[in-house]
């Protein structure tokens, strides 16, 4: 097997005195879609922040395509092809749709090409190109956010809680898009608290709990292991 | 009719220049959230640079303009962003205000250092060309300015809407973190906006310099016009900013043209800008209360009443010994230092405890001095009335902006200080233009304090009493409320506190303390004039207060002494007069993020000494901790050093005597006065299981 | 007539509608839950009720009297107390001083007439943070800081208590104690309105629950009804992360092919391997 696109080794990170990541080990093979699951507070989003350079790790290593990148600047990683779609509305609300798309060209693909791809895939955005992004519906904003993943041809796509606060139908649509991006060969690490939709598109799944990856494997296996635990715990 | 057109053209000319300067200010503010008080001062420095390259070194005007506006100014702006302003947007408003005030003072110091006062003139561009419109002569320079403002407007519009980096500038206002995820560089964007902002300040300054003259202060003050225009544009709309600049230019021109040429109204023409600023600040919509942070400021412990009384008595006694046989000139200087120290106590209350910045605090001292002199009641009643009048004026300044906080409150005090300086203090009913008033020495219970030494001691007693009153207030209910209001206005509101009136009261009390100092100062000097209370003094006062520690009485004392030394050192070493301004500014920039200032290091030193020698010393001198004996050190040292040394000891013990439960709070400040928790758990226990890993 | 009535409130920020015709209320002596996905407008509703945000349209009434345009501090004097989702403790003061400030403010000019709020230490004891009394508020754990905000509110003897995610940062025992405290307060006649993500707590203590989605109340009722309301499940529990793990994973798994069914006997072993069991919502 070739060098994994993303390899995280014994990663630790903390907020103040509280350690949130306590030795995370994770590898995402090239071209794979991995779903990272786990309850709220397990450290999933912190992991995303550390990988994307938004948060400093206290120890441990992050390799992207075999290159050691711990401590690299967020914007440098973004220009190198790490596309991170953070949780929440990840668009600029006071810029128009077209201006949002223009900014996506920092990742290396020309602005014209970004616009072309985005409008081809989401004709809705073409209709609203001069509208302020903040005045669109949640689903439309998420389409705009996904355009960056679609159009910038990233080496690794990090998706953080794509479905948060969105209506089911929109979530379905979004995951169709994720599936399509995956089909084009992009490696994806997809963080979700709610497994169902994410597991549909995933090749592998990993489970995080209390700051560690506690299980990895095929989606089926993971689901089996986890369901016991979860249901037991919820009682 | 033709005079009207002439005024209009003149108004459009200066309005265009204001608009250029103001748009630079707005651009910097919207992209980095730093309101650059030094914007005009940067324009001033660049105008001097322009004079240097064009007049002194002989470069033709247009290439010189291109060199300054296209290369030197942007490079300066870039440098400032990199090394001074970085990260300032996330800091509390008070910090960014202090840092940019320091920048302003540094600019003036730099200009004075490189270009010492001398007669310099800059000619307008194309001085011999002009043409006629509707029977009115328009110089080519005026036309050029108006055209350039249009070019700037169009250029900025194009940059912000048509280019990717311009779009990134607007994006970084919304969400810099997301911009980084997109691959944009917020730091580069901020540097670019500082570069362009400084360029525009330079362009506006150079276009106006032939009109205003090469003067450190006059050009710096142009920024008031830019502030007014920028606030008119709500600090975000460039078209409105342009409109504001133009309106202001026209208003000034018509005021000059049509107001009577004598009486108070004649002076109004000079203060249209601060009046306009005051008016637009009042018209700002209510600021939303910011919610979402637990931030505490770690400050020096508040000493107990007994300790502060002990150290106060020691100070008075020490001063009595120290001033014995001292010459009149040195005594006057010490009295001045005491005045500054009392005004700084008013800043301890307002800024240190309350978290508000006043850019016109010394003006309140001026109001106190004026009242004292006019009242001609040189006794405690007269002094009290002076303080009360200053307090009432302070409350009046805060009253119209009762709904506003932070930046706008500070701008209102700045506008007020300039108004007082340029209009009221110079009016005939006050000090008079270039005039002075006489004031009598204070009488206490019928005894007139004739000797200067005695008077200085009385001032020290007033300092001590004010300090004790302040510390008592801080320990009590009101002190807790003040701190609570500084930490979270929103929470205070939901607990039922009407923060607005509280703020007016705070401003009033703080101004009253400054007024007390002013009254004492008038009595000390015997003659005082408008020149003693220029608005610029308030800015250096603020810097010294911050550098020496705006959260403690010790800081105020050290700061007062330091501020007195500044002009002394400047006149003794004229070769580095400007450099001294730069030094204090750099110190302020470095210390701005730690409000405890140099005093906190003094306290730390004190703890260190206590740990090492405390037991031995106490064994020999049993009552040291209670009262202190400030005579322990070598008295043959240089005057200034000696004086401060005495106070180092005082400070040590102030810290030592403070509640032991609090002394730990000095640790771990290390330049991070406000620890943010932001709703994230940050507790000592291992609560990892419940850690919100996501916001 | 309810103590609190929120009547067709609309809040728009620019073109974005954060709260859309929201209508709900809270009764004295009861606990009301306000739940919904992120961005549903819950905190904005609290801001409108407490007076920090003026609504674009609609009315807020206390005891039937409109207070929509009344400033924050006057609402507080009428008995509205609130805590904050993003903490607003006075960081430079100790825990005890925090509560003292609240008591001083509540006392105010009317302090002589009005019951001057409970004794500070007794209040700290009541919410269970007496051990932290002398700590600076910016150095205590989040959960404790939330309880501190509650204690601060109680110092003013509020009639309506708005709690914004009060249990996040608390462990299970603390949450249970907190639930008790809420019951206690309600039996004293206080109307408690709470935004909360911990479904066990919400379902356990609330008398009434309102579900907010896209700024609109999509369901109101008793916990049992809300739990089974298909609209709520569809819009909220199954797809958003806002539900407690139990409910949401239930809903998630319900849609998947059946796997080894739950066997509660394994609970203990498994939780040591995968300690998700106590991984309560911490947000």
Span B350-364, mean pLDDT?
A: 90
Cα end-to-end span (Å), chain B: 65
d(CA C165, CA B244): 45
- Which is it for strands C31-35 and C191-195: parallel, antiparallel or unpaired? parallel
- Amino acid B676: pLDDT: 34
d(CA B90, CA B69): 29
Q: Give me the residues of C, 119-138, that contact B with CB < 8 A.
A: 134, 136-138
- Which is it for strands B447-448 and B443-444: parallel, antiparallel or unpaired? antiparallel
- Amino acid B672: pLDDT: 34
Given a cut of 70, whether residue B354 has pLDDT beyond it is yes
Given a cut of 60, whether residue C208 has pLDDT beyond it is yes
ipTM for the assembly = 0.90
**B690 touching chain A per CB within 8 A:** yes
User: Residues C14-39: pLDDT tens digits?
Assistant: 666 788 888 999 999 999 999 876 66
**B672 touching chain C per CB within 8 A:** no
**B183 touching chain A per CB within 8 A:** yes
More confident of the two residues B285 and C166? C166
Given a cut of 50, whether residue B680 has pLDDT beyond it is no
d(CA B101, CA B205): 18
B181 contacts A86? CB cut-off 8 A:
yes
- Amino acid B150: pLDDT: 93
Which domains can be identified in chain C, with CATH numbers?
4-229 (3.40.50.300)
**B689 touching chain C per CB within 8 A:** yes
Span C180-207, mean pLDDT?
A: 89
pLDDT category at B632 given cuts 50, 70, 90 is very low
Q: Give me the residues of A, 24-53, that contact B with CB < 8 A.
A: 40-46, 52-53
d(CA B372, CA B340): 17
d(CA A34, CA A76): 24
Cα B528 to the chain's mean position, in Å? 23
User: Residues B382-431: pLDDT tens digits?
Assistant: 999 999 999 999 999 888 777 776 788 888 899 999 999 888 888 888 88
Residues above pLDDT 90, as percent of chain B: 34
- List of chains touching C (3+ CB pairs within 8 A): A, B
Question: B544-553, B586-595, C97-106, C189-198: lowest mean pLDDT where?
Answer: B586-595
The conformation of residue B429, written as its DSSP 8-state character, comes to T
For B171, residues 6+ apart whose C-beta sits below 8 A from its C-beta are A92, A95, A99, A103, B178, B179, B182, B184
**B191 touching chain A per CB within 8 A:** no
- Amino acid C265: pLDDT: 29
User: Residues B488-530: pLDDT tens digits?
Assistant: 888 888 888 888 888 899 999 999 999 999 999 999 988 888 8
For A211, residues 6+ apart whose C-beta sits below 8 A from its C-beta are A19, A20, A21, A22, A23, A24, A42, A43, B688
Which residues in chain B are contacts of A20 at CB distance < 8 A?
A: 688, 691, 693
For C272, residues 6+ apart whose C-beta sits below 8 A from its C-beta are none
- Amino acid B87: pLDDT: 78
- Amino acid A226: pLDDT: 64
A168 contacts C277? CB cut-off 8 A:
no
pLDDT category at B132 given cuts 50, 70, 90 is confident
The conformation of residue A107, written as its DSSP 8-state character, comes to G
Helix axes B186-212, B216-232, angle to 10 degrees: 120
Helix axes B499-525, B361-375, angle to 10 degrees: 60
Question: A117-126, B60-69, B246-255, B591-600: lowest mean pLDDT where?
Answer: B591-600
- Amino acid A168: pLDDT: 66
pLDDT category at B620 given cuts 50, 70, 90 is low
**In the block, residue with structure tokens 């630790």:** A12
Q: Give me the residues of A, 69-88, that contact B with CB < 8 A.
A: 73-75, 78-79, 84-87
**C-interface mutation test, from B494, B501, B596, most C Cβ less than 10 A away:** B494
pLDDT category at B621 given cuts 50, 70, 90 is low
Which residues in chain B are contacts of A105 at CB distance < 8 A?
A: 164
Q: Which option is the CATH number for B2-130+142-261: 1.20.81, 1.10.3470, 1.20.120, 3.30.420? A: 1.10.3470
d(CA C149, CA C131): 15
d(CA B358, CA B417): 10
- Amino acid A232: pLDDT: 30
Given a cut of 60, whether residue B636 has pLDDT beyond it is no
Task: Closest CB to A135: pick one of C15, C253, C277.
Answer: C15
Question: A25-29, A189-193, B624-628, C105-109: lowest mean pLDDT where?
Answer: B624-628
Are the C-beta atoms of B170 and B238 separated by less than 8 Å? no
- Amino acid C249: pLDDT: 34
Ordered by start, the domain boundaries in chain B are: 2-130+142-261, 305-666
Are the C-beta atoms of B577 and B640 separated by less than 8 Å? no
C278 contacts B679? CB cut-off 8 A:
no
Given a cut of 60, whether residue B687 has pLDDT beyond it is no
Question: A104-108, B214-218, B668-672: lowest mean pLDDT where?
Answer: B668-672
SS (H, E, C) B261-296: CCCHHHHHHHHHHHHHHHHHHHCCCCCCCCCCCCCC
pLDDT category at B535 given cuts 50, 70, 90 is confident
d(CA A67, CA B118): 61
User: Residues B436-465: pLDDT tens digits?
Assistant: 888 888 888 878 888 889 999 999 999 999
**In the block, residue with structure tokens 């985005």:** A118
Are the C-beta atoms of B277 and B227 separated by less than 8 Å? yes
Minimum CA–CA partner of C106 in chain B: B496
**C170 touching chain B per CB within 8 A:** yes
For B321, residues 6+ apart whose C-beta sits below 8 A from its C-beta are B631
**In the block, residue with structure tokens 């309880």:** C147
pLDDT category at B600 given cuts 50, 70, 90 is confident
- Amino acid B663: pLDDT: 30
A211 contacts B178? CB cut-off 8 A:
no
More confident of the two residues B686 and B120? B120
**C172 touching chain B per CB within 8 A:** no
pTM value is 0.80
Are the C-beta atoms of B497 and B504 separated by less than 8 Å? no
- Amino acid B286: pLDDT: 62
Instruction: Name the range with the highest mean pLDDT among B272-286, B505-519, B566-580.
Output: B505-519
Closest CA to B419 of B277, B524, B319, B545: B277
3-state secondary structure of C37: coil
Closest CA to B422 of B525, B580, B270: B270
- Amino acid B677: pLDDT: 33
**A18 touching chain B per CB within 8 A:** yes
Which residues in chain A are contacts of B684 at CB distance < 8 A?
A: 17
A45 contacts B694? CB cut-off 8 A:
yes
- Amino acid B541: pLDDT: 92
- Amino acid C203: pLDDT: 85
Per-residue pLDDT of chain A (235 residues; tens, 9 = 90+): 578 889 999 999 887 666 788 889 999 998 899 998 876 667 888 899 899 988 888 888 999 888 888 778 888 888 888 999 887 778 888 889 999 999 998 888 888 899 998 998 888 889 888 888 877 777 788 889 889 888 888 889 999 887 766 666 777 788 888 888 888 888 999 988 666 677 778 889 888 877 888 888 888 777 777 654 433 333 2
B693 contacts A43? CB cut-off 8 A:
yes
Minimum CA–CA partner of A40 in chain C: C281
Which residues in chain C are contacts of B692 at CB distance < 8 A?
A: 142, 168-169, 282-283
Q: Give me the residues of B, 624-663, that contact C with CB < 8 A.
A: 661
**In the block, residue with structure tokens 């009762």:** B402
User: Residues B89-111: pLDDT tens digits?
Assistant: 777 788 888 899 999 999 999 99
d(CA C256, CA C251): 9
Chain-wide mean pLDDT for chain B? Answer: 82
A90 contacts B181? CB cut-off 8 A:
yes
Task: Closest CB to B171: pick one of A16, A74, A95.
Answer: A95
**In the block, residue with structure tokens 């003061």:** C93
3-state secondary structure of C35: strand
- List of chains touching A (3+ CB pairs within 8 A): B, C
Closest CA to A214 of A24, A18, A8: A24
Span B299-304, mean pLDDT?
A: 74
User: Residues B137-163: pLDDT tens digits?
Assistant: 889 999 999 999 999 999 999 998 888
């Amino acid at each position: 097997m070739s060098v994994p696109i993303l390899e995280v080794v014994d990663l630790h990170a903390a907020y103040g005195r509280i350690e949130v990541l306590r030795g995370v080990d994770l590898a995402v093979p090239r071209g794979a879609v991995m779903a990272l699951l786990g309850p709220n507070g397990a450290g999933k989003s912190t992991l995303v922040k550390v990988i994307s350079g938004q948060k400093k790790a206290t120890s441990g290593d992050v390799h992207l395509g075999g290159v050691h990148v711990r401590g690299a600047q967020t914007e440098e990683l973004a220009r190198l092809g790490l596309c991170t779609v953070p949780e929440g509305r990840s668009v600029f609300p006071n810029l128009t749709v077209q201006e949002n798309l223009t900014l996506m060209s920092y990742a290396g693909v020309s602005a014209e090409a970004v616009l072309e791809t985005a409008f081809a895939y989401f004709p809705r955005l073409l209709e609203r190109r001069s509208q302020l992004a903040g005045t669109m519906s949640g689903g439309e904003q998420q389409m705009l956010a996904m355009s960056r993943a679609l159009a910038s041809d990233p080496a690794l796509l990090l998706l953080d809680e794509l479905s948060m606060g969105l209506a089911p139908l929109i979530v379905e649509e979004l995951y169709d898009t994720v599936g399509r991006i995956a089909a084009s060969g992009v490696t994806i690490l997809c963080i979700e608290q709610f497994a169902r939709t994410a597991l549909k598109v995933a090749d592998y799944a990993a489970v995080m709990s209390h700051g560690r990856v506690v299980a990895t494997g095929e989606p089926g296996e993971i689901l089996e292991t986890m369901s016991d635990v979860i249901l037991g715990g919820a009682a | 009719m033709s005079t009207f057109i002439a005024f209009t053209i003149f108004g459009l000319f200066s309005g265009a220049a204001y608009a250029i300067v103001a748009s630079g200010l707005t651009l910097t503010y919207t992209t980095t959230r730093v309101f650059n008080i030094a914007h005009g001062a940067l324009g001033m420095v660049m105008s001097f640079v322009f004079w240097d390259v064009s007049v002194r070194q002989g470069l033709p005007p247009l290439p010189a303009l291109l060199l300054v506006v296209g290369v030197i100014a942007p490079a300066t702006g870039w440098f400032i962003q990199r090394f001074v302003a970085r990260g300032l947007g996330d800091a509390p408003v008070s910090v960014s205000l202090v840092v940019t005030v320091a920048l302003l003072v540094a600019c003036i110091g730099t200009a004075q250092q490189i270009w010492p006062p001398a007669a310099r003139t800059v000619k307008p561009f194309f001085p011999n060309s002009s043409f006629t419109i509707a029977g009115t002569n328009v110089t080519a320079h005026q036309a050029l300015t108006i055209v350039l403002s249009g070019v700037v407007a169009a250029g900025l519009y194009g940059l912000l809407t048509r280019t990717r980096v311009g779009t990134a500038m607007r994006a970084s206002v919304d969400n810099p973190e997301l911009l980084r995820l997109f691959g944009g560089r917020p730091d580069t964007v901020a540097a670019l906006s500082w570069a362009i902002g400084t360029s525009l300040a330079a362009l506006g300054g150079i276009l106006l310099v032939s009109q205003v003259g090469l003067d450190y202060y006059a050009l710096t003050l142009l920024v008031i016009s830019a502030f007014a225009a920028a606030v008119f544009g709500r600090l975000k709309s460039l078209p409105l900013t342009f409109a504001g600049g133009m309106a202001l230019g026209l208003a000034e021109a018509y005021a000059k043209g049509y107001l009577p040429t004598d009486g108070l109204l004649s002076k109004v023409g000079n203060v249209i800008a601060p009046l306009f600023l005051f008016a637009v600040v009042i018209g700002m919509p209510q600021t939303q209360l910011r919610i979402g942070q637990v931030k505490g400021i770690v400050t020096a412990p508040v000493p107990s009443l007994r300790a502060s009384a002990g150290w106060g008595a020691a100070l008075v006694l020490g001063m009595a010994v120290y001033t014995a046989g001292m010459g009149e000139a040195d005594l006057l200087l010490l009295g001045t230092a005491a005045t500054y120290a009392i005004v700084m106590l008013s800043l301890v209350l307002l800024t240190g405890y309350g978290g508000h910045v006043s850019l016109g605090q010394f003006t309140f001292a001026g109001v106190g001095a004026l009242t004292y002199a006019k009242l001609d009641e040189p006794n405690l009643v007269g002094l009290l009335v002076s303080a009360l009048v200053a307090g009432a004026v302070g409350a009046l300044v805060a009253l119209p902006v009762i709904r506003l906080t932070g930046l706008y409150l500070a701008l209102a005090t700045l506008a007020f200080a300039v108004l007082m300086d340029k209009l009221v203090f110079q009016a005939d009913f006050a000090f008079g233009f270039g005039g002075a008033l006489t004031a009598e020495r204070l009488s206490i219970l019928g005894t007139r304090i004739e000797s200067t030494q005695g008077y200085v001691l009385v001032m020290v007693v007033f300092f001590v009493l004010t300090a004790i009153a302040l510390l008592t207030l801080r320990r009590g209910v009101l002190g807790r409320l003040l701190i609570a209001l500084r930490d979270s206005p929103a929470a205070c509101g939901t607990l039922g506190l009407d923060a607005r009136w509280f703020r007016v009261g705070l401003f009033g009390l703080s101004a009253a303390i400054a007024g007390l100092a002013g009254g004492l100062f008038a009595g000390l000097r015997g003659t005082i004039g408008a020149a003693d209370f220029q608005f610029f003094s308030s800015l250096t006062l603020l810097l010294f207060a911050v550098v020496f520690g705006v959260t403690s009485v010790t800081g105020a004392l050290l700061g007062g002494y330091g501020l007195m030394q500044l002009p002394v050192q400047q006149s003794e070493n004229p070769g580095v007069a400007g450099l001294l301004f730069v030094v204090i500014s750099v110190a302020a920039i470095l210390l701005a993020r730690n409000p405890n200032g140099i005093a906190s290091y003094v306290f730390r030193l004190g703890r260190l000494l206590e740990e090492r020698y405390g037991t031995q010393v106490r064994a020999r001198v049993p009552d040291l901790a209670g009262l202190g004996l400030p005579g322990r050190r070598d008295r043959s040292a240089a005057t200034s050093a000696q004086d401060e040394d005495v106070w180092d000891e005082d400070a040590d013990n102030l810290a030592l005597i403070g509640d032991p439960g609090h002394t730990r709070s000095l640790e771990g400040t290390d330049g991070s006065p406000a620890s943010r928790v932001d709703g994230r758990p940050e507790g000592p226990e291992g609560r990892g299981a419940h850690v919100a890993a996501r916001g | 007539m309810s103590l609190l009535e929120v009547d067709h409130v609309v809040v728009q920020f620019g073109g974005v509608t954060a709260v859309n015709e929201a209508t709900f209320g809270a009764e004295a002596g009861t606990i009301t839950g306000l739940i919904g996905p992120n961005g549903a407008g819950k905190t904005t509703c609290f801001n409108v009720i407490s007076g920090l945000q003026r609504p674009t349209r609609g009315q807020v009434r206390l005891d039937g009297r409109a207070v929509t345009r009344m400033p924050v501090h006057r609402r507080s004097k009428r008995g509205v107390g609130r805590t904050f989702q993003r903490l607003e403790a006075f960081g430079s003061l100790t825990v005890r001083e925090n509560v003292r400030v609240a008591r001083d403010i509540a006392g105010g000019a009317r302090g002589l007439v009005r019951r001057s709020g409970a004794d500070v230490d007794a209040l700290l004891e009541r919410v269970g943070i007496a051990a932290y009394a002398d700590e600076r508020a910016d150095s205590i754990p989040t959960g404790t800081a939330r309880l501190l905000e509650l204690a601060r509110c109680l110092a003013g003897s509020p009639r309506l208590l708005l709690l914004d995610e009060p249990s996040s940062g608390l462990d299970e025992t603390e949450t249970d104690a907190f639930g008790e405290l809420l019951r206690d307060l309600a039996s004293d006649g206080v109307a408690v309105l709470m935004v909360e993500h911990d479904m066990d707590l919400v379902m356990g203590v609330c008398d009434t629950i309102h579900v907010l989605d896209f700024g609109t109340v999509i369901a109101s009722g008793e916990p049992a009804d809300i739990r089974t309301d298909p609209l709520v499940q569809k819009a909220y529990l199954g797809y958003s992360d806002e539900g407690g793990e139990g409910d949401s994973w239930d809903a998630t798994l319900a849609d998947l092919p059946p796997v080894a069914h739950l066997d509660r006997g394994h609970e203990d072993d498994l939780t040591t391997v995968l300690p998700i069991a106590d991984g309560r919502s911490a947000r």
